[in-house]
Amino acid sequence: MKRFLTSVVLMAGAGLAQADGLQSLEAFMQNAQAGKAEFTQTVTSPAKEGQAARSKTSSGEFSFQRPGRFKFDYRKPFAQQIVADGKTLWMYDADLNQVTQRAQAKVLDATPAAILASAASVQALRADFDLKAAPDQDGLQWVQATPKAKEGQLQSVRVGFAGNQLAAIDMLDSFGQRSLMRFTNVQTSASLPADTFKFVAPKGADVLAQ
């Protein structure tokens, strides 16, 4: 889960047909102040000698509210949560009944979470990422985001849009692991309950502070 956070724990010109990824990203960040979507995530580890690459798929619901609040609620195949409440990042593993908490400001600036929920504008993103439009692929407009910090575990991020609607995030970490997250049923005008991003550790869970 920690590796996902750093590689996981990050998300119109003259007509949509002519919009590139950067224009779509800017429109998304300006217009989508809160929302939710369903997601499917496929994590593919690099092939080892004599073995084929291995993939694992999970799914759940994603919610966000700017600035700095989001939740990944994994439901299949295992229950997990990653919640940012604006100050603290919480990671909960139901199988282990274990919670990890970290200061949010220290871990999110150069991650995909900054694109999805934390950064206020494309200009703010440029403090941590080199951004450029990438070629259209799979019917989506893509933007390439390369972290400026070379010592991190995240190597690159591509964010895909259908028009100005978030559709996918494709992440590659320094270990060669690829994580592709596709979003469906995106609702960027959703009214979210006040307690959406409130995390309370389950009774009996081990809570580890980092």
Q: What percent of the chain has pLDDT over 90?
A: 41
CA distances in angstroms from 132 to 52, 82, 145, 171, listed in the order given: 32, 28, 7, 15
Amino acid in position 73: D
Note the pLDDT of residue 17: 38
Q: What is the pLDDT of residues 46-81, one digit of tens each?
A: 878 777 778 999 999 999 988 888 999 999 999 999
Residue 7 has pLDDT above 90, yes or no: no
* Residues 146-173, mean pLDDT to the nearest whole number: 87
Alpha-carbon distance 147 to 19, whole Å? 24
Backbone angles phi, psi at 190, to 5 degrees: -70, 140
Residue 10 has pLDDT above 60, yes or no: no
Note the pLDDT of residue 109: 60
Surface-to-core class of residue 15, CB atoms within 10 Å of its CB (0-12 exposed, 13-18 middle, 19+ buried)? exposed
Residue 13 has pLDDT above 60, yes or no: no
Note the pLDDT of residue 168: 95
Which residue ranges form the domains of the chain, and what is each CATH number?
2-46+53-184 (2.50.20.10)
Residue 90 has pLDDT above 90, yes or no: yes
More confident residue, 81 or 29: 81
* Residues 128-141, mean pLDDT to the nearest whole number: 90
Note the pLDDT of residue 169: 94
Average model confidence (pLDDT) across the chain: 83
Q: What is the pLDDT of residues 30-45, one digit of tens each?
A: 888 889 999 999 999 8
Residue 99 has pLDDT above 90, yes or no: yes
Both structure tokens of 96: 């282990």
Note the pLDDT of residue 52: 76
pTM: 0.82
* Residues 131-148, mean pLDDT to the nearest whole number: 90
Alpha-carbon distance 184 to 2, whole Å? 24
Name which of 58-72, 86-100, 118-132 the model is least confident about: 118-132
